[in-house]
Amino acid sequence: MSPILQQLALGRSAVERAAELRQDAQWWARVRSDPASRVLCVRLGAVPLAGDELAFTSPEGLPEAEFGFLGTDNGVNFLVWLTDIAEDDARFDSLDWQSLRNCGAALSARDAGLATTAVALTNWHRAHTHCPRCGSETFITQAGWVRQCPADGSEHYPRTDPAVIVAITDADDRLLLARQKVWQPGHFSIVAGFVEPGETFEAAVVREAHEEVGLNVSDVTYLGSQPWPFPASLMIGCSARSMTSQITVDGEEIEEAAWFSRADMVAACESGAVRLPSKVSIARRLIENWYGGELPHEWSRP
């Protein structure tokens, strides 16, 4: 793996998840009532900051049933309050709320891992409140990592949707950059899409490349992965080689695409004609992996 892909912003973590303890009800009762435990709150997908660090609160005064366990570090237990903070909740107005897209790359490995897990877990609990089998309202158990149905006893676990993202090059080692129809002109990235049921990630790369830009690709190589909790993806980063250079965009998801040599991309970014994904994304790191080094922050799109 390239060193550029070893430290993906939202793939870093320095806490012990201690998953084996989640079913211990007595342990969990002690942790969630311990004033020394640190609780991270989430508001509309954003996390609170104090400078460049996460801002934590005490579990005291928060409903015990709505905690989730994030992990432990140096004897400190970290939790997330699973109730999404309302935008008009005055108790938290003094905090600096930032999206992971904005702050993820600047956070320490510990805080990046905690925030990514907290946002993903909160997203899941907010969207999966009822049993998919019978429709009964479920309750939280196993330290926030399971929802159980009181009617039929079924257990439901956090959802993660695998998606592939691929740096496609041609015979001249040019990189394909594409713009989605919903993006502003000049905002480019690389091809990506969800893995379908019964499909390997290699097959998903081949399918997405053909569907979105009309390319037949081979030599699919896994390069790295990163959680992307917007709301619940795991991005599987790959490279692939196109057998041809003829591009045919689908016109539905992708509106334009083009091949770029390294010099072409530098010129386009310097002129402002192209803006690249932010540094928090695996897309940016895959582009930099192809380029051979980091690219200026100023070339990032907002």
Are the folds of 3-156 and 161-292 the same?
yes
Give the three-class secondary structure for 229: coil
| Residue 272 to residues 63, 107, 130, 144, Cα–Cα distance (Å) | 49, 28, 47, 45
Q: What is the DSSP letter of 93?
A: T
Question: What are 235's two structure tokens?
Answer: 């991005």
User: Where does the chain have alpha helices with state H?
Assistant: 25-33, 100-103, 109-127, 201-213, 262-271, 282-291
Domain ranges of the chain: 3-156, 161-292
Q: Which of 89, 91, 76, 86 is nearest to 39 (CA)?
A: 76
Between strands 175-180 and 139-141, the pairing is unpaired
CATH architecture of 3-156: Alpha-Beta Complex (3.90)
198 CB-near residues (< 8 Å, 6+ apart)? none
Q: Does domain 161-292 have CATH number 3.90.79.10?
A: yes
pTM above 0.95, yes or no: no
pLDDT by residue for the chain (302 residues), tens digit each?
566 687 899 999 899 999 999 999 999 999 999 999 999 999 989 999 999 999 999 998 887 668 999 999 999 999 999 987 777 777 777 889 999 999 999 999 999 999 999 999 999 999 999 999 999 999 999 999 999 999 999 999 999 999 999 999 999 999 999 999 999 999 999 999 999 999 999 999 999 999 999 999 999 999 999 999 999 999 999 999 999 999 999 999 999 999 999 999 999 999 999 999 999 999 999 999 999 999 999 999 98
Question: What are 38's two structure tokens?
Answer: 């640190």
The residue to which tokens 């579990």 are assigned:
59
